[in-house]
Amino acid sequence: MKTKIAKARFPFIKTLEGFDFNFQPGLNQKEMSRLGSLEFIENKENVLFLGPPGVGKTHLAVALGIKACMAKYRVAFILAQKLLEELTLSLKEGNLTARLLGYSRLDLLVIDELGYMPVNKEQANLLFQLISLCYERGSIILTSNYNFDDWGVIFSDQVVAAAIIDRLVHHARLFYINGASFRLKGKLKENRGSAEKRQADTKGGIGGQDQPGG
């Protein structure tokens, strides 16, 4: 299991149990737990997490990926931009088919942060080829900061965007996360703690001063 997790190249280790569902009440914890059974992989279904930055999309994607590794599935995690760069390089080097087939043999491919960087038409077509090859062969977990209505702009091509969405969502579980940012939550907590400490230090300083004698 450790070898599979290492080969998957996760950016960090996260678990479903470690996700703060109280901070994201829009997410159904029971539904997430059902995803943790990995039935979606057996059914060759995809899982899509859409929502603004910081709401926990990558946490959930990594947590499910790690569960899949623990169940001895073949898993890979990759940033969308890095994936597109790899496919573009493979096209130039003439080994695109081998690269695509390699990804299609995975049980689960986790693609993180689609749309974080603009996607040109060539890259959009390469991604379409990958999604098409993986279609009904394996599962994809994909995260994006953008809703589907914006994908035509991301890919610079409405037709390709529609084709990619069609194959992704045909057998998929969609989750729109519109809660607050965990990173902002941490920063606010840090700032609040610093303010409370300064206030306590100030009170302590005043209380600890020697009073002038009469």
**Is 41 a member of any domain?**
yes
Q: How far is CA 187 from CA 12, 54, 140, 148, 180, in A?
A: 20, 12, 32, 30, 12
SS (H, E, C) 80-98: HHHHHHHHHHHHHHCCHHH
**Is 100 a member of any domain?**
yes
Q: How many domains does the chain have?
A: 1
**Is 148 a member of any domain?**
yes
The strands making up 75-79's β-sheet, listed across from edge to edge, are 75-79, 108-114, 139-144, 46-50, 172-176
The model's confidence at residue 185, banded by pLDDT at 50, 70 and 90, is: low
**Is 116 a member of any domain?**
yes
Distance between the two ends of the chain, CA-based, in angstroms? 75
The model's confidence at residue 133, banded by pLDDT at 50, 70 and 90, is: very high
**Is 170 a member of any domain?**
yes
**Is 206 a member of any domain?**
no
Show the DSSP H helices in 1-116 as ranges.
2-8, 29-35, 39-42, 57-70, 80-93, 96-104
pLDDT tens readout for residues 92-125: 999 999 999 999 999 999 999 999 898 999 999 9
Beta bridge mates, 140: 109
**Is 142 a member of any domain?**
yes
Beta strand pairing status for 139-144 and 108-114? parallel
Q: Indicate yes or no: pTM above 0.95.
A: no
CATH number for 178: 3.40.50.300
Residue 170 φ/ψ, nearest 5 degrees: -55, -45
Judged by DSSP in three states, 51 sits in coil
**Is 82 a member of any domain?**
yes
Q: Are 130 and 90 in contact (CB under 8 A)?
A: no
Ranges 36-40, 58-62, 172-176, 190-194: which has the least confidence? 190-194
Q: Which domain holds residue 84?
A: 2-9+29-188
